[in-house]
Every structure is written in C-alpha cells, then in structure tokens.
Amino acid sequence: MAGFWTGAAALVTAGRRGRRWPQPLMRSVALWTVKHVPHYSRRYLVASRTLCSAGYDSNEKTFDKILIANRGEIACRVIKTCKKMGIKTVAIHSDVDASSVHPGYGFLSENKEFAKCLAAEDVIFIGPDTHAIQAMGDKIESKLLAKKAKVNTIPGFDGVVKDADEAVRIAREIGYPVMIKASAGGGGKGMRIAWDDEETRDGFRFSSQEAASSFGDDRLLIEKFIDNPRHIEIQVLGDKHGNALWLNERECSIQRRNQKVVEEAPSIFLDSETRRAMGEQAVALAKAVNYSSAGTVEFLVDSKKNFYFLEMNTRLQVEHPVTECITGLDLVQEMIRVAKGYPLRHKQADIPINGWAVECRVYAEDPYKSFGLPSVGRLSQYEEPIRLPGVRVDSGIQPGSDISIYYDPMISKLITYGSDRTEALKRMEDALDNYVIRGVTHNIALLREVIINSRFIEGNINTKFLSDVYPDGFKGHQLTETERNQFLAVASSLFVASQLRAQHFQDHGNSRVPIVKPQVASWELSVKLHDEIHTVIASKSGPTFSVEVDGSKLNVTSTWNLASPLLSVNVDGTQRTIQCLSREAGGNMSIQFLGTVYKVRILTKLAAELHKFMLEKAAEDTSSILRSPMPGVVVAISVKPGDLVAEGQEICVIEAMKMQNSMTAGKTGKVKSVHCKAGDTVGEGDLLVELE
C-alpha cells in the first residue's frame, strides 16, 4: 500500500507555488487530481467487513484531515479506518481513474524523495522516515544492514551488476541457480531465476527493463536461489520512541511470476521457536533503521526451517488483513497513531494468534494462460460474497468499473476467518463460489483449486507449488465421475427449467388465441461435455428434478430462479452454488460449477438427430501465426520479414501491467509478415507475426 499523508492543503499549495519537485515526482504528481471523498467512501465501507476487533478512542487526538496517496481498494481501506477515528479524508486520482477503478498498490509508497518533499513542507507522511525508506528500499543496502544486525541473509553478490557479462561471471561464482532481481524492486517485478548462462543473459535484460519501467531504476543484484523454499514474512510495527513489535507471520508461498496469490496467517509450517527467532530478527532489523510505522520483513524458509532475509517492505502490504484477523489490530490505525507521535499501545506478550485467516487475491486474469495473464474490460455484473459469515472483501470497484491495462489487474482481496484453518478454508471455498464477476476473465477457478488441493491442505507447499501441481499448466477443475454426473444433472435441470419458463404464458383473460400447454412427463436429452455425448432423461415434480445420467439417478432441487446470478442447488443431499453465465437458443450453456466454467451443449432427442446434419466450423490453423495472449504494449520486435526463426525463438516482447513477456515462435519457419511495431498497443488475440 502506498504511504498516506496529512496536511493536504499544504501539499496542494506547494504545488501551486511551482515548487521544484524532483523530476520523477513531477511526472507522477501532475497526473493526479485531488477530490474530497465522503461520497466515494460510503458505498464501499458499508460493504466490507473488518473482521478485526480493534478499539477506537474518540478522545485520542490524531489528525483533522488525511490525504491518501493511493487508489481504488486500498484508498477505501484507509478511509474506512479514518472514518472510525473521526478523521476527514481526501483522495486523489489519475485521469484513467476518474470514475474509480480496481485496486492498486505502490503510488509513491516507498519513494524517499517524495517523503523528503513532504517533510520540507511540514506535511506529515504516515509511514517510516526517509532514512528507513531509503535503507530498506534498496535491496543492496538493506542486505548489508541486515548482515550488520545479525539477520540471516542469502549468499550472493552485494554490489550492483553492471552488464550481462558480469552477471554471467557472478552467477558462475555463486553457483546456479541464481536469482536476478531489481535493487529498487518489489511486488515480484524485475525478478528472474536463471539456471545457466543463457538464462542469466536473458534475465539480466528483462529484469533491467522491468525495473526501469516499474521503478525508474534499472540496477540489479544477484544472489543464490534457494530451491523449493517457502515465502514467509513477519509483520512489524515500530514507533518513534524506540519500541518495535512483531505481529506474527504470514505464509505467502502460493505465487505465480514471483507475485503472491494466496496468503494465510499463521503459517502451518512454523513452530513457536522458529516463529520467535524470525520475529526477533525482524524487530532487530527494524530497530537498526529506527523504523516507525507498519512494515514487513520477508524471509525465504527451507525445508529444515532455516530462514534467510529477502527484503523489507516499508509500507502496509496487500496481505495485511490476515494479520488483522488473527491479532485484532487495525494496522492503519496503528500507523496513524505512530505518525502522530503516540507510543505503541501493546507489548510483545500482548500479541495473540486467535484463529486462522486466509486471503485470496482475486485478479482480472486468465488463469489458463501462464497461471494468469491480464484481462481487461468492464464489469457488467459484480456481487461480493459479504453476506456469508467470516468473510471480508477489500475492494474499490462496483458494477460498471473498467479494468484497464494501466495498473495491476487485482479486482479485490477476499479474506475469510475461522476458529481454525479448516473452517477458514471452507469459508473461502463458499465465498469463491458465491463471488459474481462478469465482464472480465478472472482467476476464481485457480484460487478455488489451490485451497482444496490435498498438498495445500496438508501444508506441503513452496513457491513452486503451482508449477509442481500443474506442470502442463492450469486446466481447471477435473471432474470426478460423481461430480460429472452431478454437473450433467444440474445442467439438464437448468435447461428444462428455462424451456418451461419460455413456454409459460400469463393469461389475463383477453387472449384471442387459445393456448394449449404441452403435458410432457419427461425430457430425453443429449448433453455434450468435453466432446463426449451423454444421454439424460429428466422429469419434474415441484421444485425437484429426477434426472437419470447414463443410468445413474439423481434428484436436483432448487428454487430455479433463472434471473439470479447465483443458484443454490441440492444434488442428492449435496449443496452446490452454481452460476449460469450464458444460455443460447442453440442449446449451448456456460455454467460455473466448483469454481470452473464448463461449456455444454444440451439438445432434445429430435434436435440432436437433426444437428448431425449441421456443418461444423473448421478450427483456425494457428501453427503459422502468433497472436497476443493478452492486452499490452509491444516493447520490442526481434524479427523482420524474411528472417528464419527456430521453434522457441523470441519474436517480440509484450509488456502488460509492468511485466514483460517474451513471445516465441511455435515452429521453425520464415517470417512472412510483421503486423506490429515497438510502442504499439495490442489487444488479446491481435495478430502479431505470420510465418510462411
């Protein structure tokens, strides 16, 4: 989360006086507009449940007004606490955010120059001081400070890597595999793993480009890659009086592209002794830089519980709600109190671990492409599952909001809390099933599969979990025979229910045409799922359908409210929440079942016999063409017409949401034509290159 500050009038006045802000800041600040936000906050603050028991003393004086240097979800999160503390708020937005869009983190959050400018204007920055931001924001300097504070560190090269040749030399000295990462980086951007010299050269190029694009700083460092580690971080909190606490840990090992997807607190892996050792080292590092705010010290932990300092984030992180759930603290409130100069209210012995909390990052992404390539579009329908017990949703969007290419594609943070891990995970499963997101592709299917996976439930996880569990890529939920029959029974029941609704005629007594309602005892259907045809016979009695699927009989009961985006159905005593995404006249239906969207074609017996005579559209031969798998910007083109390319050779680089992706040839051949150039904005499916 970005830092936020007080004294908005002073900041705005300074801008009007034409103060010479540092150049990087001038470009950022110029894009943003200030607005008061009481109307902006009400819609979201009512919708979100805090799931924390923090107390708010109305007599404790802090600030009159706070200007929030962030956007979307986290701005709403800060506003919520400010309202409880009786503090007025002001928000800012960029041109593309004029109507408030999806969540984003990082705007000026860890920029020491920005913090200096505020200090010069007597504006209080609610976050650590400039020394801590600078020390911990630079991975090279932070690693040296960690060593000095006797914090365990990863073996590696402590200087700045100058070029690709030096990167190869250093990597050989350290020993493969190595991690190449941006010195000023964070959020997984500017990070690459290299297993040999060639990957080191490529990693140096991509990491430096991503670092320059994301942070305005292309410096890189290299360190030993800890294979199969866990990513566990410690939340710390310090004040201006030399006090510091560790607020337990968060398990953040489920990642894709070095970015977290699922987090939980506490970690199922740590014992009390390791937890205390990690917490004490995190506090030692915080005290070494006189840290005064909320911050996070991240560690890599191997299978033997050896832990190594990774980095410190001098801000409130995306996953902070799980810590709030198990400790009862409001971390935003604590940051505000510390910034005002109050000492911490708690001692280390006062910090509890009560229950269990899980957070899923809900993204506008296609999880079937590299576990999540960005999706853009407008939310045509959006309903959060906040009516369920133990559920918290932090978001900053509403139906009609746009998901653009300009920011991180996170839609919201979905948090569930339970008395233990089993209850928290079950509540997450229900929450994901009851989350309605239409208009963009989302990652609900992947999130749900992760939390019900046997390895995850056992706690047998590491940062390679997704690639280990899905070596051929994510394919969605694989139905068991029982689940398949349940799905076919539900889909068939939906089909018949929609047919009956279409036949319904409301007679007001003035009809000139007599209506003869057909009396159909049962429906014989042909259902196609995954290229397999199933024979289904359905009959209806009140709200219950009796369905025979390939000889197996099931009873399906529901209200059959086809206008609702969510439908609760009971299949032979098993309760399921499904979503019917589309129904077409030709019998095609898309149904979200167990988190995954399945496409089926349901026809009556007569229609199925006639369908055999319908011509099928031939599939496009894509072996000789390269289409963009995501919306983004073309960073570089590596080929031109007439060039010979080998299978797997890089053809172009596409940047989406600050991440650079190398597009490669699917086969060996000659380049026939190139349909884009560097700097072009492309959409998903746009033609990039053709081969002969």
Question: What is the DSSP secondary-structure string of 430-466?
Answer: HHHHT-EEESS---HHHHHHHHH-HHHHHT---TTHH
The HSE-up count of residue 592 (CA atoms within 13 Å, CB side) is 25
| 548: annotated active-site residue | no
Q: Look up residue 33 and give its two tokens.
A: 């507009």
User: CA 68, CA 72: separation in Å to the nearest integer?
Assistant: 11
User: Do residues 153 and 143 lie in contact, with contact meaning Cβ atoms separated by under 8 Å?
Assistant: yes
User: CA 158, CA 176: separation in Å to the nearest integer?
Assistant: 17
User: Do residues 169 and 146 lie in contact, with contact meaning Cβ atoms separated by under 8 Å?
Assistant: no
Residues 6+ apart with CB under 8 A from 303: 228
Q: Can you say how many angstroms the Cα of residue 504 is from the centroid of all Cα atoms in its chain?
A: 44
Helices (H), 471-614: 481-503, 605-611
User: Do residues 645 and 243 lie in contact, with contact meaning Cβ atoms separated by under 8 Å?
Assistant: no
Residues 6+ apart with CB under 8 A from 7: 65, 67, 121, 122, 123, 124
Residues 6+ apart with CB under 8 A from 146: 153, 285, 309
Compute the radius of gyration of the chain from its Cα atoms: 28
User: Do residues 664 and 676 lie in contact, with contact meaning Cβ atoms separated by under 8 Å?
Assistant: no
Residue tagged active-site, from 311, 324, 365, 384: 311
Q: Look up residue 83 and give its two tokens.
A: 């309202």
Greatest Cα-to-Cα distance within the chain, rounded to the nearest angstrom: 92
Residues with catalytic roles: 311
